[in-house]
Structure 1
Amino acid sequence: MKIDRLVSIIMVLLDKERIGAQELADMFEVSPRTIYRDIDTINTAGVPIRSVPGIGGGFEIMPQYKVDKNIFSAADLSAILMGLSNLSNVIRGNELVNALAKVRSFIPADRAKDIELKASQVCIDLSPWIGNRDAQRNLDMIKTALQDYRLISFEYLAHHGIKTTRIAEPYQLVLKSGHWYFQGYCHMRHDFRLFRLSRISNLQMENETFTPRDYQRPVLDFAEMLETMQTEIKIRIHKSIMDRVLDYCTFEHFSPVDDEHYIVMFPFIENEYYFDILLSFGSRCECLEPLHIRNEMKRRIHDIATIYDK
C-alpha cells in the first residue's frame, strides 16, 4: 500500500541518511519513477527531502529536520503495528515488512513488551476459510499494477452469467463486506467501474502503462439509499438459523413464538439478492407476509423442485 511505502521511505532515510532512487526502487519492488512521485508526496506532507546529484548522491532528509522517537505514544505505536501486521496477512510485499521493521524502531526498549502485547490483542484475518485459489495471485498482481500504473486485462463474469473481456486502468483496491474489489477505468465502458476479484479470470498485467486520469472514488456507503428501498417482511424461522439471520438484522427484529421458533421482521428488497438470502435459509424459514413475496418464494421453490424431478 502506498501509505506504508511512504512511511518506510522516511524511516529508511532517517536510518541511512542518503540513498539512491534505484536502490529505493529495488527495495520496494517499484519503478524509479514511482519513487520520485513518492518523494514529491513526502515533501508535500512537510518532510523536507532534497536530491543530491552526482556520484554518491541520492535522496536525503535535510539535516535540520529531526524526528523525536517519543512523538508516538504506546497506543499510537500499538495501533500502527496492529494495522500493518493484520494487513500483511493479505497484502504481501517487502514494503509492509520494511514498514513494520521501521515502526518497531520507534519503540523504546522499556515499552517494547507492553506495546507488542497490545498490538496482538486484535487479530484481523481477512483470508477466506475456503475460496478462489487465484485470489491472492490476482490481489498481488493488481497491487503491482497499481504501483507501476500498468494496464491489466482479464475476463469478467457479470450479472446473469455474461462474460466479457476487459482492459482496465487500476486505481484502488477495496475490501468491502469480506470481498475484494478494485476500482478501475474500463476501456470497454469508457468509465470507472468496481470489479469484484472473485469474478475475474485470466488476469494479465500488460506492459503498457497509463497516465492517471482524474479519479472517481467508488460509492461504498449505501446506508441512506437502502433505507429508502428496504421494506420489512414477516418470516418465521427455526432457532437453529438465528445466528445466520442476525447477519442481516438485530435482536430487536425477533419475537419468540415458542421454544423453537421466532417471528422476524426482516429487512428486504425485492431483487434476486434478497430472494436468494431467503432461499439460503432452506426449510427452516417461512415467509408469512406480504402475500406477493410469499407467492414469489413458492414459485422459486417450485422451479427448484422441478429441476430435481426431471
Structure 2
Amino acid sequence: MRASRLLSIQMLLETHGRMSAPALARALEVSVRTLHRDIDELTTAGVPVYAERGRAGGFQLMPGWKTTLTGLTPAESEVVFLAGLAGPAADLGLATKVESAQLKLLAALPAPMRGDAQRISSRLHLDPVEWYREPDPVPHLPLAATAVWEGRQLAITYESWTQTGRRTVHPLGLVLKAGIWYLVAARERKVRTWRISSIQEAVLQDKPVLRPKGFDLAAYWRDAVRRFEAGVYTGEALVAATPRGLVELRRINAALALAVARATPPARAGGRSHVRMPIESVPHAAGQLLRLFPEVEALEPPELRQELRRRSTAAARAYRA
C-alpha cells in the first residue's frame, strides 16, 4: 500500500506539475502529516522532489525527471489494455494511436507480464450497440473529438426534432451512451447535449473554448440522465401480470425492471402480481401492453383500459374483415 502511494505521488507530480501538500493529501486520501513522511521517504530513495514555500508553493519534481513503469502491476497493465477494445477508439480516429501506445507499453513491461497484459484484449470484446440496430452514422465525430482535445470552438449545423439551424458551440466532452455518441458543449453559457449523428455540418474554429469553471463531465452527465428520465415518465399505470408477464415487462427497459422488482405478489397461488409501472403517455403505454396481453392486463387508469379496448376492437374488426 505504501509503495503504491509513493508511486502515485510521483505520477501526480509528473502529470500536474506543482501541487500543494493539502491537494496531494486529498488526492491520496491521507493526512498532510502522512504525506510529508511519504515525501521524505521519496527524497531519501533518490526521487528529486523539492518544495517551494509561499502562497503559490508546493511540491514538484525536478524538470526533465520521469517515472518508469516498474511500479505497474499485472492487473493495472490489463486494465490499460481495455483502451484497445474495438469500436469507440476507431470512431474517434484514435485506433492507430491506441495501438502505438499499447506497443510502447508492451515494450516497457517486464517479459513475464506481457502475456497477461495482452490476454484481456483477446478475451473481452465490447459491443455497445443494441440488438437489431445499426450504429448511428457519425462522420463528424473525429472533428468533434479534435475540438474537444484541442479546446477549440465548433460551428455546427444541427438538426433537432423541430428545426435545423447553425450555431457555434464550446465543446466540453464526449459521451458514448448505449452505442450513441453525444457531444457535451456550452452555448450562450448554458451546457447542453448534442447528438453527434444529428450534426449535418461541422467547421473547426480558431477561437478557444470558454470552459465553465469547475465543470465536471461525469457529474454533468449523471444529472442530465436523471433529469431526462424524470421528464420522460409523466404518469403511472397499475397492471396485473402472470409470472411470464413479469419476465416480459422486465425485458422492456430498466425502469420497468425496477417496477417489477417492487411488485405486489399474488394473494393466492396461481394469481397475478400487481405492478405499478411508470408510463410516458397513455398511447405509448397502450402500445407496450397490447403485445403483452393476456400475460399482462392493465387495471388503471381507466383511460388506458379504454385505449387498449379501442385498439383491440379495431384490430379484431380489421382481421375479421
TM-score (normalizing by structure 1): 0.60
Q: Deviations over 1:276-296 (max 9, x none)?
A: 365245422455232245247
2:257 matched residue in structure 1: 249
The one of 231, 234, 238 aligned to 2:239: 234
- 8 A Cα contact 2:172 2:184, kept in partner: yes
1:195 matched residue in structure 2: 194
1:11 matched residue in structure 2: none
Shift of residue 220, structure 1, vs aligned partner: 2.0
2:163 matched residue in structure 1: 163
- 8 A Cα contact 2:240 2:274, kept in partner: yes
- 8 A Cα contact 1:155 1:164, kept in partner: yes
SS of residue matched to 2:65: coil
Shift of residue 72, structure 1, vs aligned partner: 0.9
2:137 matched residue in structure 1: 134
Structure 2 Cα separation of the partners of residues 142 and 62 of structure 1: 36
Equivalent residue pairs, number: 246
Unpaired segments of 5 or more residues in structure 1? 1-39, 49-60
Higher relative contact order (CA 8 A, sep 6+): 1
Opposite residue 138 of structure 1, the aligned amino acid is H
Structure 1 Cα separation of the partners of residues 305 and 252 of structure 2: 21
Q: Deviations over 1:27-66 (max 9, x none)?
A: xxxxxxxxxxxxx965358999xxxxxxxxxxxx968724
Go from structure 1 to structure 2 and tell me whether the alpha carbon gap of 1:201 and 1:296 turns closer, same or farther (over 3 Å shift). farther
The one of 90, 106, 114 aligned to 1:104: 106
- 8 A Cα contact 1:89 1:125, kept in partner: no
Shift of residue 244, structure 1, vs aligned partner: 2.4
SS of residue matched to 1:130: coil
Give the root-mean-square deviation of aligned CA atoms. 4.5
1:68 matched residue in structure 2: 68
Structure 2 Cα separation of the partners of residues 157 and 287 of structure 1: 36
Shift of residue 193, structure 1, vs aligned partner: 1.1
Q: Deviations over 1:179-220 (max 9, x none)?
A: 321111235xx522112234x141222444334231544342
Opposite residue 186 of structure 2, the aligned amino acid is Y
- 8 A Cα contact 1:155 1:165, kept in partner: yes
SS of residue matched to 1:213: coil
2:17 matched residue in structure 1: 43
Shift of residue 268, structure 1, vs aligned partner: 0.2
1:83 matched residue in structure 2: 83
The one of 110, 115, 125 aligned to 2:127: 125
1:146 matched residue in structure 2: 148
Go from structure 1 to structure 2 and tell me whether the alpha carbon gap of 1:119 and 1:290 turns closer, same or farther (over 3 Å shift). same
Q: Deviations over 1:223-281 (max 9, x none)?
A: 69859987563254765845623643156356689xx9964625304x34x85365245
- Structure 1 or 2, whichever has the larger Rg, is 2
Structure 2 Cα separation of the partners of residues 287 and 233 of structure 1: 9
2:299 matched residue in structure 1: 289
Shift of residue 98, structure 1, vs aligned partner: 3.0
Opposite residue 117 of structure 1, the aligned amino acid is R
Unpaired segments of 5 or more residues in structure 2? 1-13, 25-46, 49-60
Indicate the larger mover: 125-134 or 108-117: 125-134
Give runs of aligned pairs for residues 206-225 of structure 1, distance below 5 A.
Answer: 206-214=204-212, 216=215, 217=217, 218-221=220-223
Indicate the larger mover: 204-213 or 247-256: 247-256
Go from structure 1 to structure 2 and tell me whether the alpha carbon gap of 1:295 and 1:79 turns closer, same or farther (over 3 Å shift). same
Indicate the larger mover: 69-78 or 108-117: 108-117
Opposite residue 92 of structure 1, the aligned amino acid is G
- 8 A Cα contact 1:151 1:207, kept in partner: yes
